[in-house]
Structure 1
């Protein structure tokens, strides 16, 4: 792999605006962050949205407006989260796909998520996979634990390849309750992904840098953003998402795998032209 896909996850569903004042929660804030992150080297944006009260929401019209605004102001590959918040019902999570993003997340199993449980039943996973293929939305298979890679193989064996035919995985590491964010675990996961697949890696909290460096050395790609960490260094809060993207781009360039453009990423993961 000669280049690096850098995905930015700017908001997430976990942090409260009252605790993290620079978290982008309005559409205007999100678009401004997206523009800055694209300039810093991001090619894809992983999107959670917030309501008027800054709380996580899966409101269908807000999702559609967000996709439209990001496409209007950037060339980023737009990926919506179908995870939402851990309390969101399955029907609302499936409805995310009606916003017709380029890509959407598809988590491969249930995982303890701190003090909560992120529920992903087998039947729900299959339905997400099926609906994405019908809409030609490219899934990013989110892996929170090593056993979920076996679930991914089962899904592909029983229900066929995803939209576009290419399998792209995101290893979400360092979540309390999921796999640890260290080099040995990343290597084990990378060895277990389906043949021909590509992978990104996300290090949550203080695992951000170890996971980033391990992923680059293993031929993987990167996801960074304030969804996953609000600390830039020991005792230093993140200024904005572009700061995290710029650091990822610098490390990728040092590894002689500079950031890929959004169009190169569309070709790599096979985003449908109509999307």
Structure 2
């Protein structure tokens, strides 16, 4: 089971003081998350102003720092338009990356997503296709790239758990109907994060957790940080595994 620690996303330290921003902070948080049981890390590089950035120097600094802190661990980055809203400029920035991540997540509903996938594949970067909605699944299927991606992120953004689970089920139905074989990681955000993690564990799927997705523990208390969230997710996965064996 992949256990991905999503370290920061678009979060600010105003939302949670432990959100890592600078490369050194990302490296320290990655090390703590891996020590807590994460098998991979996913991050949103930041510029000197602390904002999300796909600039080659920002990506290189973040990826290199994290790799040095957790050698041998898969490092993934975003390509989201939240980091660069101009699709053409985004493509140009990605084309100029010098320190390539192991994986890149590409939100299939965003303009220019197919071109980004093809460019990264040409550069031998693994692709996680981000599917927020059933329509995003249809875009992936229509692109002809479903057989090229290394994994699919089934990631409904609705914070209401039941609606998020229903959207995830419809995404799965569409992928199943077309025989998509790429591994699927299921996760949610906000109030849906822990219910979707529980569903993913029950289904034997890959999981992810971290401050990008949720700031609180299942109890509703504010989490101390990424390592604490990973530790809770690992414990839940272990409990489910023991239950299946009993």
1:126 to 114, 131, 142: 114
Structure 1 regions of 5+ residues with no counterpart? 110-119, 258-275
Q: TM-score, normalised by structure 1?
A: 0.77
1:216 and 2:201 matched: yes
- The count of aligned residue pairs is 234
The residue aligned with 1:200 is: 185
The residue aligned with 1:273 is: none
1:189 and 2:177 matched: no
The residue aligned with 2:217 is: 232
Contact 1:232 1:244 in 2 (8 A): yes
The residue aligned with 1:67 is: 63
Report the structure, 1 or 2, having the larger strand content.
1
CA deviation vs aligned residue, 1:223-249 (integer Å, no higher than 9, x gap): 111011111245411101011111111
2:9 to 12, 22, 37: 12
DSSP 3-state at the match of 2:58:
helix
DSSP 3-state at the match of 2:41:
strand
The residue aligned with 1:148 is: 136
Q: Distance between the aligned counterparts of 1:223 and 1:96, measured in 2? A: 24
Greater relative contact order, per chain length (Cα 8 Å cut-off, separation 6+): 1
The residue aligned with 2:74 is: 77
The residue aligned with 1:108 is: 108
Where does 1:241-252 land on structure 2 (aligned, <5 Å)? Answer: 241-252=226-237
The residue aligned with 1:49 is: 45
CA deviation vs aligned residue, 1:91-149 (integer Å, no higher than 9, x gap): 3432236231111011111xxxxxxxxxx12xx12211210121011110000001211
Structure 2 regions of 5+ residues with no counterpart? none
Q: Distance between the aligned counterparts of 1:217 and 1:188, measured in 2? A: 18
